[in-house]
Structure 1
């Protein structure tokens, strides 16, 4: 039996400085130019190494490829990964360029990112709150100026524009993430399940766009500090300690499946 473990990174397995009050004693999971930026607990790190020895571990992130490559998890380079919410796949340690190119096919009904960004700039460009819109591997980020909230009326406008162009919007803080509606983590996970012959699956995530893959999987868990997905169990702990509970849940699932 081959088990697939699909885990979102940020806010699930690894935690950035804004969620880590004191990083002393934690394992560094990301460093930019030698400066630590994200951590996990030693217990979670040890558990992850065991998971990678016993199962197909699949980091499942909305990070762009460039952002993902900054992460360094215990156990070496990932052989399989879902990146940019499913816009890009790594299989056997190599990016599947055909998969990425196929996600851009106009037959999906999503406009090119440049077209959508151009519309956002034209409609929102004069608003005092509006900072910029950027494309990260097919995901568009619409940002408010630092310290300013994302206005409710603006969210409605962004959602209307996105829907017209075949995109879906998720708001987090003062930034809206705009995803092509056909690009989902669960679609990428199903592709991996089929290719690798996975027989059992478990997933973890902490935000609205993770609900699909958690529902798709045979089992799932979400951190208590995340956006609750209906019917999915939650950790008891918040913050970096929740990562330990997520890893423990993965190991328990492995023990029950193998």
Structure 2
């Protein structure tokens, strides 16, 4: 059975702040508020995809954040990669062997992660507590992201870690801990499977590169790997999730 490894936020589900039309269904509730949505079409198509291949959510979200998401009323994915691929969930339960291997993999980055925590704790622009997401990478928010990133670059040895930003969010992540590494590790358990992947951001480039077929927005400017099929989606094509899942199910039906 093939794999559909997909990012979540802005790929399959969307913040309440994003206009995806009115024909939507809630995908996430946080503190009593509906905060994320899917289009009804995407929800229906995703269920069809899940019936014919392994749908594997691949997200930078923590396990706790991931577990807030509901893809359907009667089903949930059997497999998911959380914490940028560092945690494998099997029927909602963390695979201990996978997590141990992840911790071993990122061990060389530990001094830089600890130093990042110290730098961020003293950053006057920080607007959120400094978090070690599932023990694997560092995350916070900043009122002045460029200044915060500059402080980190000045203080850290970046040999084993890299810095990311997403709006007001700041991440310090081990270089070996990325969505592509997670998918390649998962492929070892499904050696005959083709991998289809979808993603929308720089965080997703390793995920896209690890797939046989990659779906991405035109604006991401992902050119692909040798022998790989890349399917780009423009805003004129429609909502990204609808287009990706529509094309994926059309491929299934052939």
Identify the TM-score tier after normalising by the shorter chain: 0.7 to 0.9
**In the TM superposition, what is the alpha-carbon distance from 1:161 to its structure 2 partner?**
4.1
Evaluate the alpha carbon distance shift between residue 203 and residue 172 of structure 1 in structure 2; reply closer, same or farther with a 3 A threshold.
same
What does residue 10 of structure 2 align with? 11
What does residue 109 of structure 2 align with? 110
Q: Distance in 2 between matches of 1:118 and 1:183?
A: 17
Q: Distance in 1 between matches of 2:9 and 2:236?
A: 13
**In the TM superposition, what is the alpha-carbon distance from 1:18 to its structure 2 partner?**
1.6
Q: Which runs of 5 or more residues in structure 2 are unaligned? A: 225-229
| RMSD of Structure 2 on Structure 1 (CA) | 2.6
What pairs up with 1:155-166 in 2 under 5 angstroms? 155-164=149-158, 166=160
What pairs up with 1:78-227 in 2 under 5 angstroms? 78-105=77-104, 108-111=107-110, 115-121=114-120, 125=122, 127-131=123-127, 132-137=129-134, 138-145=136-143, 149-151=144-146, 153-164=147-158, 166-224=160-218, 227=220
- Deviation per residue, 1:7-44 (Å, 9 max, x gap): 1000000001121376x431111112442111111111
Aligned length: 246
**In the TM superposition, what is the alpha-carbon distance from 1:164 to its structure 2 partner?**
3.9
- Deviation per residue, 1:158-190 (Å, 9 max, x gap): 235454472111111222211111112122112
**In the TM superposition, what is the alpha-carbon distance from 1:200 to its structure 2 partner?**
0.7
What pairs up with 1:11-50 in 2 under 5 angstroms? 11-20=10-19, 24-50=22-48
Q: Distance in 2 between matches of 1:61 and 1:76?
A: 19
Match of 2:223 among 225, 230, 250: 230
Evaluate the alpha carbon distance shift between residue 121 and residue 49 of structure 1 in structure 2; reply closer, same or farther with a 3 A threshold.
closer
Q: Which has the higher contact order (CA 8 A, sep 6+)?
A: 1
**TM-score under structure 2 normalisation?**
0.85
